[in-house]
């Protein structure tokens, strides 16, 4: 069975981790993830939702096909996964992850590759690798540090401390917190807002944030004009600016603008 399935629902794409906590992930996890990301890239979606059929992104006590195959297998496995996580980050559309249960190790790393993370109050996230002499191998350490700072990341990763849903929001790991019963609604509201937003502008803003993350303000400054060039020549940019200009001239609030994603 494939570890992931891609679905398209109008402007919203869903990359779904299949199975239950005891079977995540299998040996096909890298290839299945790569195929799902490629389908997302080739589609005409305007936002991608990374979710799980079980509500959790976890490796259970028995890691199944991964454990026991040696370092070389694990290193190749991790390299393939990391390439797919970078591909998710480089999609030209916003990405949203949601978690209602546990997110452990590689599952947590997958969530950290997304722009937005909606966590249920009862969600728990952590890296258990340090407890067993291992290291998170698909980018989670650095992405967690990027969100919470080096001191907090050091504590959370080296001591394998559990992060509750509320703590995830307070620390900046999660962008949204939802009561358990409202996780689906909060996530769907966010997805619809992004799916109906100025998709091209979102992509350009995400590029600037990535440039800042890797090289600071100076790196982002260098590419700012290149990235933002032509934005007012797009349909959304031209119509949005025209509507805003007219409203300001008339002393009216800027209206709700209907964006086409073009």
Q: Which residues are catalytic?
A: 109, 129
C-alpha distances out from residue 245 to 221, 237, 248, Å: 27, 12, 5
- What is d(CA 88, CA 47) in angstroms, rounded to the nearest whole number? 11
CB atoms within 10 A of CB 121: 17
The 3-state DSSP class for residue 49 equals strand
Cross-strand pairs, 51: 16
CA distance 7 to 199: 19
> What is the Cα–Cα distance from 172 to 50, expressed in whole angstroms?
19
Q: How far apart are CA 137 and CA 79, in angstroms?
A: 8
Round to whole Å and give the CA distance between 30 and 117. 21
């Amino acid at each position: 069975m494939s570890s992931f399935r891609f679905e398209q629902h109008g402007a919203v794409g869903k990359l779904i981790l299949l199975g239950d906590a005891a079977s995540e992930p299998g040996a096909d996890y890298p290839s299945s993830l790569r195929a799902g990301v490629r389908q997302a890239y080739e589609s005409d979606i305007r936002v991608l939702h990374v979710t799980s059929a079980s509500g959790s992104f976890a490796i259970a006590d028995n890691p199944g096909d991964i454990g026991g195959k040696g370092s070389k297998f694990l290193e190749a496995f991790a390299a393939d996964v990391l390439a797919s996580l970078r591909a998710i980050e480089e999609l030209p559309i916003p990405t949203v992850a949601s978690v209602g249960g546990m997110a452990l190790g590689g599952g947590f790393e997958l969530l950290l590759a997304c722009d937005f993370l909606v966590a249920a109050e009862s969600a728990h996230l952590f890296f258990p690798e340090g407890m067993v002499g291992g290291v998170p191998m698909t980018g989670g350490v650095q992405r967690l540090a990027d969100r919470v700072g080096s001191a907090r990341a050091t504590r959370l990763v080296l001591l394998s401390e559990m992060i509750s849903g509320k703590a995830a929001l307070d620390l900046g790991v999660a962008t949204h917190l939802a009561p358990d019963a409202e996780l689906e609604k909060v996530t769907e509201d966010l997805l619809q807002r992004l799916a109906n937003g100025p998709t091209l502008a979102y992509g350009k803003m995400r590029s600037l944030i990535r440039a800042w993350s890797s090289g600071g303000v100076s790196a982002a400054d260098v590419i700012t004009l290149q990235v933002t060039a032509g934005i007012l020549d797009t349909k959304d940019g031209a119509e949005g600016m025209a509507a805003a200009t007219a409203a300001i001239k008339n002393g009216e609030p800027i209206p709700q603008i209907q964006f086409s994603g073009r």
